[in-house]
Each structure stands twice: as structure tokens, then as C-alpha cells.
Structure 1
Amino acid sequence: MSLFKKFVTVGGGTLGSRLMGFARETMMAAALGTGPMAEAFYAAFKLPNLFRRLFAEGAFNAAFVPLFAKEIETGGIDGAKRFSEEVFGVLFTVLLVLTVVMELAMPLLMRTIIAPGFEGDKYDITVRLAAIMFPYLACMSLTAMLSGMLNSLHHYLAAAIAPIFFNVAMIAALAYGIWIKADGVTIAYYLSYAVLVAGILQMLVLYFGVRHAGMSIAFRRPHMTPNVKRLLLLALPAAVTGGVTQINLIIGQAIASMKEGAIASLQYADRIYQLPLGVVGVAVGVVLLPELARALKSRHMVEADSLQNRSIEFVLFLTLPAAAGIFALSDEIIRLVYERGAFHPDATVTVAAVLTLFGFGLPGFVLNKALTPGFFAREDTKTPMRFTMISVVVNSGLSIALFPFFAERGIAAAESIAGWLSTIMLFIALRRRGHLNIERPLVTRAIRMVIASVIMAVAAHYMAAYFSDYLRSGSHALTQAAVLLPIVFASFVLYLAIVFAIGGADIGMIRRNMKRRGKAAQAIPEDPA
């Protein structure tokens, strides 16, 4: 299967999940707006969701996948099965202990880290919601392990579609709450139980996917074997690195809890920009890591360089116009997706401003996903961790400095700047070590992609201004959709026309570069430095 087809498989499944996420967030906005129960739910969900991101996108994709792939190469399926069972026994035990400890510590964590600005009933409800949802962490951590196994076995679909079940459960809970006209507190509880159910469903989907791929997992008594120790040594810094965005969001949320409505505003904007970040970034990160690890293990350095260049090119080709579109149409997008029910026009202005600032950081966040596999595939998780910690410090300092003046806008700006800083440091480190050789055609095409994206953004802005009477507050949602969606489509078509016309991309390049180059790759020993 070509690299492009693998990106499409993972990205397509993620796209389906993110589109359903839009439907979920639209219903959330209508039911709860930016009010106290929306903030209570989002604050309570932040802790288990943080761990989910750390495990699913950090530790297991960074540490487990290369080691599992190595076991397949050296010990075959039997060796990989034995390794996975060793990991499962330790992981299950650790998660059980962690869940108990975190449940007991939940009031303290909420007061000091998650939402220090919450008080009274809002604080009490948030603690109870978090206690209901935290076991979701255990389900999703095991799901992450199963997902890593499937990706290493070249079975991408089950892992890509599993998140859809999360949105199905959430939408069902919202629909039932709205149908019976439940109050905000009741809907928040429904959503919390739906999160737990969704975690169980996703774990079962991945388990049956692994069985379908020809492997089974049995529980083994926890034992610190050499392979498990190696995994843990790699996983801890990888978890921190993979969760840089989530760590920054936790910091931002703690600060935002000091202002009513700020947490919800950040969450609603985050949902929009997570669409391109998830579809492109997660697809590239999930597919690139096992492919790059396999090329390096086989000493195919030319193939490794090609994989990284193609991934960066794929990221820029799609995220530059996405960021430009966010700049040009943030108000119109937020108004169409959220502005109804309890979500008022003044909230649209605030959330749109936050989304614009997130859009500035979008290419940096996605490039981060394409660069970190260059370290993880070489079993180096400490270097990205150091860069992550620097970016977290910068994010914290900027958030604290900007919040008194710009509120949630300051937090969004701090997160975007910190994301770009992390990406730049990763890029420089890879270049200095000789692990990333940027091809000259990639540089020239990237410049042309930027030009095409700027032209597209200007065109989208003027099209929206021309049809502003149909896109303003108070217009029917169907009217807004009938006007905005063609504008988005026309803008992207314009981008494609320009980028192909000026040489930023061509059909032959896409067809040629997205094919695996294993046969043509030369086996060159890696520089030990």
C-alpha cells in the first residue's frame, strides 16, 4: 500500500470522527452554550483526555511501535505476541493503581491544577463529573496499545474508525438530554457516563481488530522484563513529548478558569482547528512512525529521507490552505457551527478570535507530528521531551503575561507561539544530526504553497464580504451553510488551481512521491553520530 493510501486510510477514519465531533460540539453549544455546566464538563474531561492524548499519541506510538516492529522482525509473530502480553500485564496493573489514586485525589487536583478558579456548586459538580470519567483513561490506554499493534501489522482501518464510537455515544447522550428537555446539570452527567461507555466500546473494537489481524493477547503476571523496562524508559519522555499540545491546554485551562466562559470558548475553538490537525497530523504521525522505524532498522537511509520529505510535503500541502481559510473565515465558521440556542452572537466574536490565533499555530502543530517520528524511530524520546519542556515553560509564561490583557485570546496566542517554538527546535536538531535532509524541490514547492494560500485567503475574505447579508447573525443556518460551504469549496479549488499553475505541486510529483520507495532504496549504514 502506498504512503498516500495509508495517509488516506487513517485520515479518512479520523475525518469521519472529526465531522461527527462537529455535530457533537454543535449540539453541546446549543444545549449548554458557554455557561457553567459546559465549563464544568470540559474541565472535568480535560484530565482523562490529557492522559488519553499522552498515551495514544505519545508513549505508545513513540515507544511501543518501534519495539513491537523490532520483535516482528527478529522474533516473528510469536515474539511480538509474547512482548505485547508482557506489556499488557504491566500496563493493566499500573492503570488500575493510577485510577484508584487519581479518584481519591480528584478534589485536590481540581482545586490546584485543573480548575483553580472554580468555586461552590460548579467546583463540586466538576469533581463528580471527573470521577465518573477518569476510568476512561484505562480503556483508552489499552486501546492505544492495541492501536499500535494494528499499525505495526499494517492494519490501519480499525484504529482509525474507533474514535467514531466516542462521538456516537456522546451524540446519543446529548440527543436524549435535549429530547427530554433536561437541565444543564443532568445533561453534563449524561455526557460523563457516555464518555465511560465510549471508552469501553473503543477498546472492544480494537481488541477484535487485533484478533482479526491474527493475534491474541493473554494476561501475564506483571513482570519487569528487559523489553518492558526498555519500553518504560522510552515511554515516559515520549508521553510528555506527544502531549505537548495537551499540556499547554491544561495550563491554559487552569488560567482560563479565572474568567467565566473562557474555558468553553477555548474548547469550542479547539474543536474546529482539531479537524485539520487530527486528519493530517494524526494520519502522518501514525503512518510515518512504523514506516520510518522499519526503514531505519533495514538501513535504508534513502527511503527514510524520502519518507520524511514526503510527509512534510503532505503536511504543508493541506495545512497551509487550512490555516489561511481559518484566518479568512473564522467568524463565519463559528457562526454556522455554533451560534444557536444558548450560544449567543457575542460568544461568536470571542471564539472566532481564539480560532484565528489557533490557526496561526496550526502548521506548526501538524509539522510537529511529522518531525517527532524522526527521533522516536531512532528510539530517542529524550530530545523531544527537552524541547517540549522548554515550550511548556514559554507557554506558561506567555499565558500568565497575556491573560490579564487579552483573556482567552492571550492563552490561544501563547499556545500557538509555544507550538511553533517546539517545531523549530525539532527541525534544527534533526538537521544538525544529519537525520533530515531537506530536498531542494521541497523548499521551492513550500514557498509556492504559501503564495497560493495567501491568494486563496484574500479571495475567500472578499467572497464572504460580498455575501455578508446571508452570513450575518440571525440568518438561518441552512442559508449560511448554502453560502459558506460553496465559498470554502471554491476557495480550495482556487488554491489547487494556483498551486498547480505556479509549480507548488503537480500530478506527477504527487503520484511519484506518495509511492513507497523500498525497492529503490539503498541500504546505507546509519551514521553512528
Structure 2
Amino acid sequence: MPGLGRSNLVVATGTAISRITGLARIIVFGMIIGQTALADAFDAANNAPNSIYELLIGGLLAASLVPLFTSLLNDTAQTHESQHGTDAIISISLILLAVITIVSIVASPAIFHLFSIHPAPGVDTEVFRSAGTALTRIFVVQIFFYGVSALCSALLNARRRFFAAAWSPAAANVIAILFLLSITSNSQPNITDVLGGSTLMWQLGLSTTVGIAVMALIQVIAVHRSGITFQFRPQFSHPAVRKLIQLSFWTFGYVVANQVALVVIKNLASPGSGLVDAYSKAFILFQLPHGILAVSIATTFLPDLARLAATNDHAAFADRMSRGITLTALFTIPASFGLFVLSKPIISLVLQHGNFSSQATVNTARALSGLALGLTGFSVYLFVLRGFYAKQNTRTPFLINLIENLINIVLAIVLVDRFDVLGLGIAFSIAYVISAVVATVVLASKNQSIDLRSLAIDLIRITVAGVVMAIAVRVGTNAVSSAVEPVVGLAALTRVLVGITIGGATYIAALAILGEPHLRDYWSTRTTKSSR
């Protein structure tokens, strides 16, 4: 399978395996722990290393490294100076990662406190924070390994090698599952069970930490095998490092805004009530189609976008951006409507096992329904931002991201009291749909070759096909299983399978009737090198 389709298939398949194993991990966690105060403490503590990493270095690496490494590792222009630049960036990044990790271990109580400012009524705040802090001290070690993984992934992507970065997270999930399955208890684990350095504390804490370390190690091996060399040269004055620092200013602001919004949303979900866990699990399911469908497109487009931006080929850049936006919408719109219509049977089928109760299913399904409406907006928004990053423009994404987070926070505050986690999901969706439109219009204003009218027509055509699909799925699934209550087990499976079958057939038929050409063109495109 040539070109773009083949490159994306490598990423999409690896990402699919990684996401599916990640889904298996949360299923096992839900069966053993349930949706309790302990689940909320685990979620907040495990979120801490992600937040700190993104806040202090991760956002910078994600936004800047691929374009920088693409220019430094150019196969036809490799020089002694570019090698030194690569070495300097990696060396200084490793130093920063080590320092940030050590400081985070010491500051674990304050870090967890940020995610538990407003615990739910009836929750023992002291016990909740003590348990969360104990887990946070173990989890923050992941910061270093997340950074190593990001560096390796950027190096490999710059060389158009996508396999290891896409597939290695699956190993992390498998290891986490093995740790969770090692938990043996005659009753449902309680939040007090992780106090005092207990075995359960280490089983939960190491479950994801060891997995992330292995993920990073796999990518280090892949970099070594690719022939990319590295020597430890922490040259803070190197031009490549100065360029990275220059790009970091606005990216830092971008990430600060994201983390402020995250802390607000987590606290609005009433930590300790189980709703934090409901929102978190819904978000993981929401990210499954995003990761499989949208991330694979964005990952394989970015190196080419960076090259086209560097050569000032505005027409080709515009064509590639428009194609990427359309393809992202083409694949995520049916997933968005499908998750919205089938949220409850999906959650019931996937999660309602063991200690995961029917009420937990209702809470998680409500969160997923709200989030699902914004899947395409979220995916298109992140793809368009990569267009700015390819041009090494981090200021504009920062300003647009401020708008997105402000809308998200305001709407979440307005909606949460009436709709709880459903309101949080709706706020998220509206914010990202608006921001995706704003980002696309702003990018088009900076590149007049982007035809907004043609792009809008394509997106409207795809959306109409998605709406037709959603109606058909709703009618079809209600007709098949309306008499079967509650929707669990075989009934849930039947509803999901019928929905997928009807939805897939209806969506493809609607696209054909509306004359959508991009699905066929996607596989025939030969504009990128095949993955290695």
C-alpha cells in the first residue's frame, strides 16, 4: 500500500493496539477498584506527572522538536554543526527532565493538593490527600521517562520512522494490566488501603510507572537501531538550543492555560465522589478514535508540513493542510456521532464488570455523550495547530488556546451544577468546535492559498453524512433492542454491533450519494515516502 495510506496505516495500527490495550487497562482497573474515592485519588495522582511534564517541558518538545529535528537531521544536508545541535537539545532536555522529576517528588503533597482543592461532601479530605500524595510520589517519576519518550519519538518521526512511537505504549499498558491483576483482595479495595506504604500502594503506583519506563526504553532502542547517534553535549549557548528556548515562551503559556483548565475541571467534578473517575474514563474512550484516526494523520503529515514551510511552498502547504483537515473530519465525524448515540451501551459493554456498578455506567456514559460531540472539533483543532508549529509559530496557538480554555472553563462552571459530568463534556465540546473554526480561519489568513470555501463545502458534506448516519443508528438500535432492559451484557453487545453495522453502511452510502471524493483519494495518494 503506497504513500500516505501506508504511513498512516503503520501509525494507525500501532496506535489502535496501544489504545485497545489502554482500554483493557481501564477495564481491569474498573473491575478491581470500581468508581470510588480511591479511583479518583488514583486518577488525580496519575494525572500529576502528565500535567507537570506538559507544563514544564512536554508542550515545548511536542510543538518544536519535530520541525527542529527535521531540519537538523536532513538526510541530504547532515553536517557536524547540525549533529552538535541535536546533541545539545537532547542533553539539555535530559538535564531539565531529571531536575523537574526530583523537585516533583519533593513537592508531591502540594501537587496533589491542586487536584483536590474542592473534594466532594462526605469525603475524608485528610485521608483522600494522604493516599493521593503517596501515589503521586511514585507516579511523578514518569516525568523523566515521558520526556525521554518524546525526544525519541521526535527523532524517529523526523526520519519518518513511526513504528516504535506508535506501538511502544502497548507495552506500557500490558505491564500496567499485569500489576493490576496481581492485586488480590477478598473485598473491594478502599482508599485507606493505600496508606502506610502498603503493598496495594506499590502495586497501583508501579503499574503505570514501570510501564512508561519500558515504553521509553523501547524507543531508545529504536533510535539506536535507526543509526541516529548521540553524545552528551549540554551546550546552552548553541543556536539550536536558543531556537528551542525562543519557541518555548509561547508554548509554555499554551500549556499553562491547558493545565489551569484541567485543574478547574477536575475540581468541578467533585474529587472523591467518583465523578472524576467517570470523566477520566469517558475521556480515555473519547481519545480512542482520536488516537487511532486523527493522531495517525497528524503524525505522518507533520514532517512534510515542516519541510514545505521551510521551503516556502505555500501552495503545497495549503493543499496538505486542507487534505489533512478533511481527512481528519472524514474519519472522526462518524466516530463522534456513534459515541454520542451509543454511549450507554458502549460503557456498559466495556466497563460494567466486577466492582464497576450500573450507576458508574450511567455517570461515565453521560460524560462520554458530552465529550463525543466535540471529537471532530478537538481533532481538527490539534491538527491545525500543527500547521502553525510546522512554521515554527507558537505565539498564535497560544492566543487561540487562551480562547479555547476560557470558553471551556466558563461553560463548565455554568453547566456543571445542572448537568454534572455531562455539562463538563458539553463545555469541552463547544470550546473545541469554536476554537477549531477560529484556528482554521487564522491559518488561512496567513496562507491565502488555503481555500476556505472549498474546505467548508467538504466539511458540510461530511457532517450531513454523519447526521444521516446518527439518525439511522438511533432508529435501528432502538428497533432491535427497545424491549431489552437493562442494556447490559448481550443486549449491550447487540446494540453496539447493530449500531456499527447500520452506521458504517449508512455513512458510506451517504458519502457516495453526496459525492465525497476524499476517502478514495486518501489511499491512492503518493505524496509521502513509505514508512520504514
Same-fold call, TM cutoff 0.5? yes
Query: TM-score w.r.t. structure 2 length?
Result: 0.90
Provide the secondary structure at the position in 2 that maps to 1:76.
coil
Residue 516 of structure 1 aligns with which residue?
527
Matched, 1:264 2:277: yes
Q: 1:126 to 1:506 in 2, by over 3 A?
A: closer
Q: Distance between the aligned counterparts of 1:162 and 1:509, measured in 2?
A: 30
Contact 1:173 1:187 in 2 (8 A): no
Contact 1:146 1:206 in 2 (8 A): yes
Q: 1:17-416, aligned counterparts within 5 Å?
A: 17-52=18-53, 58-73=59-74, 75-76=77-78, 78-111=80-113, 113-118=114-119, 119-177=125-183, 183-184=189-190, 185=194, 187=200, 189-238=202-251, 240-241=253-254, 248-257=261-270, 260-416=273-429
Residue 503 of structure 2 aligns with which residue?
491
Q: 1:374 to 1:93 in 2, by over 3 A?
A: same
Q: Distance between the aligned counterparts of 2:232 and 2:29, measured in 1?
A: 39
Consecutive unaligned residues in structure 1, runs of 5 or more: 519-529
Residue 122 of structure 2 aligns with which residue?
none
Shift of 1:201: 0.7
Q: Distance between the aligned counterparts of 2:82 and 2:59, measured in 1?
A: 20
Deviation per CA, 1:145-200: give whole Å up to 9, x if none. Answer: 11001001010111111111221111111222158878354555413212221121
Contact 1:86 1:225 in 2 (8 A): yes
Provide the secondary structure at the position in 2 that maps to 1:467.
helix
Contact 2:85 2:238 in 1 (8 A): no
Contact 1:240 1:388 in 2 (8 A): no
Shift of 1:455: 1.3
Q: Distance between the aligned counterparts of 1:147 and 1:55, measured in 2?
A: 18
Shift of 1:517: 7.5
Task: Letter of the 2:110 partner, please give it.
Answer: L
Shift of 1:403: 2.4
2:493 to 475, 481, 488: 481
Shift of 1:273: 0.6
Q: Percent identity?
A: 26
Deviation per CA, 1:417-449: give whole Å up to 9, x if none. Answer: 222232222112112222561265543332221
Deviation per CA, 1:197-246: give whole Å up to 9, x if none. Answer: 11211111111111111112222245332211211221343355478766
- How big is the alpha-carbon RMSD for the aligned residues of Structure 1 and Structure 2? 2.6
Contact 2:349 2:492 in 1 (8 A): yes
Q: 1:496-507, aligned counterparts within 5 Å?
A: 496-505=508-517
Shift of 1:7: 2.0
Contact 1:270 1:358 in 2 (8 A): yes
Residues 235-244 or 255-264, more deviating: 235-244
Deviation per CA, 1:387-436: give whole Å up to 9, x if none. Answer: 11232223222222332332222222222222223222211211222256
Deviation per CA, 1:16-54: give whole Å up to 9, x if none. Answer: 111111111111121122101111100101111234556
Contact 1:282 1:369 in 2 (8 A): no
Q: 1:333 to 1:262 in 2, by over 3 A?
A: same
Deviation per CA, 1:451-503: give whole Å up to 9, x if none. Answer: 2111111111122212326864374x355325522431331132112212321
Consecutive unaligned residues in structure 2, runs of 5 or more: 120-124
Residues 427-436 or 238-247, more deviating: 238-247
Q: Distance between the aligned counterparts of 1:255 and 1:318, measured in 2?
A: 32
Query: TM-score w.r.t. structure 1 length?
Result: 0.90
Q: 1:457 to 1:224 in 2, by over 3 A?
A: same
Task: Letter of the 2:97 partner, please give it.
Answer: L
Contact 1:81 1:215 in 2 (8 A): no
Residues 480-489 or 371-380, more deviating: 480-489
Contact 1:364 1:419 in 2 (8 A): yes
Residues 340-349 or 73-82, more deviating: 73-82
Q: Distance between the aligned counterparts of 1:40 and 1:288, measured in 2?
A: 38
Q: Distance between the aligned counterparts of 1:57 and 1:426, measured in 2?
A: 22
Task: Letter of the 1:18 partner, please give it.
Answer: R
Deviation per CA, 1:255-290: give whole Å up to 9, x if none. Answer: 223561110110111111111121223223322221
Q: 1:501 to 1:239 in 2, by over 3 A?
A: farther
